[in-house]
Structure 1
């Protein structure tokens, strides 16, 4: 792994391949290891960068008063320090919110956005009572041992057809979460609402979801597609929230199809 410093925070990341830059932003309770299937495959076509977000993996924990804007600015600083040119930015779940926060303040930087299992922030896509339920759930989990709550998450992330080895690998990555880092990210992200950002997006945008995602369901996907001008919505059949892990071949094929289509324009 490589390291850069951004606003006093050490950010660790993985890099593989050669070609146009593609930046991968993981979800909550995860780190860059979740992208193993993409780093191994997509490096044939792209220079793939997968960061550990502040508070995750090998990166430093942000301060408790870290905001969503701080998180978007941290991504912008990471891109300046580590990634050449105009990157394609791909965010999954929480990572999609970081991508939208980043785009709000830095719209000229990305060449495209790829939003996977995405929300317009929890508050922008979910009923208020569901936002508060999720917030309270994660807040309570941060004081619990990982083996107590991760088994509760897994059925909401994968379908029953998922490869048990992939589920187990994800479980092990999630178990390495930083309690302090996750608390800061939760406070920065949990009540975010990016509905005002969506109609301003002026770069090519792919929305990629599993048809069986119970966390960001098809209704959320269709609303994101409706609000982002010219966006492309692709649904991967019979796959849950962790589409990149549960169906890496189909996922990588859709990413390639979208990005190669841009270069052919």
Structure 2
């Protein structure tokens, strides 16, 4: 039985006394000492022959379950390491929980995970809030990355970001006028600032999904079964001193030196094209892919187009 850090399945690594879970799926990794390239991958979606570069996938939230980011089409081409961030799911909580989960803290956990994997340089994909983490990592630890994928991310949080999201939510409401589920979605949107526990977080992330997809109700039979798998952990967004962990990377984007792919859904409400275009303009040499029939979950809404963009980028920027 292969028990190497990149063998398929669930693993745990302890970083600075805090256990972090991660999950490996996809093509066997081909350039890590001690890892038998070509092993049959128990979680592989599709052909397991050959080897793949390593892509770390950091989910959003903060506090959203890693399963929601599962990308079977990407797994056909690369080894995907799904991070279960500290404070979420089966990973340990910090002593300051639900506070203290800053980008710096998540980056510290990524350092330990990358050390544990033994890969010289990985690709890092961050979705939504995970994109904020990935941006921070690319700015502070470029030597550890072969490339970064900023997926439905934004260069800034706070009032400006909220105003844009609120305007796009109003557009969604106009498009969805007359749908019997609209009022429930808008109630969830208005409640997001009052969340305080895991149960409420899970209820909210499930309830907001129709607004986060380009055509949820038109494809409801396809998407509805996904909802029970969505889980949330309440994380405050405050550091240990109870100060908000705000993001404003706009002035620093020009110093991102690693190959960068920016991916966004045309109909994304929370981290829409405005922010993707700003990231793309600010990051030298970056590539922008807009998924025209997606909202916030392009890996689910347009899996083939998403995989073409992400797997193509990862394999095209892998040395060797």
State the distance in 2 between where 1:67 and 1:147 align.
21
The equivalences for 1:135-214 within 5 A come to 137-143=191-197, 145=200, 148-150=203-205, 152-161=207-216, 163-164=219-220, 167-174=223-230, 176-179=231-234, 182-183=235-236, 186-188=237-239, 191-214=246-269
2:142 partner SS: coil
Change in Cα spacing, 1:86 to 1:46, as seen in structure 2 (3 Å) is same
Show CA shifts across 1:130-173 (max 9, x none): 79xx9995441224635753454113311225643664355323
Shift of 1:73: 1.5
- Structure-2 residue corresponding to 1:30: 64
Residue 65 (str. 1) matches residue 100 (str. 2):
yes
Partner of 2:114: 79
Give ranges in structure 1 of 5+ residues lacking alignment: none
Unaligned runs of 5+ in 2: 1-9, 29-51, 167-187
- What TM-score does the superposition give when structure 2 sets the normalisation length? 0.71
Give secondary structure in 1 for the equivalent of 2:300. Answer: helix
Runs of 4+ in 1 over 4 A off after TM superposition: 127-131, 134-137
Q: Whose Rg is larger?
A: 2
Task: Check 1:101–1:241 CA distance in 2 against 1; reply closer, same or farther (3 A cut).
Answer: same
The answer for the alignment partner of 2:34 in structure 1 is: none
- Provide the TM-score with structure 1 as the length reference: 0.84
Determine the structure 1 residue equivalent to 2:44.
none
Q: As a proportion of its length, which structure holds more helix?
A: 1
SS in 2 for 1:119: coil
Report the number of matched residues: 256
Q: Which runs of structure 2 are paired with 1:116-127 in the superposition (5 Å)?
A: 116-123=151-158, 126=161
Q: Distance in 1 between matches of 2:74 and 2:267?
A: 25
Cα RMSD after superposing both structures: 2.9
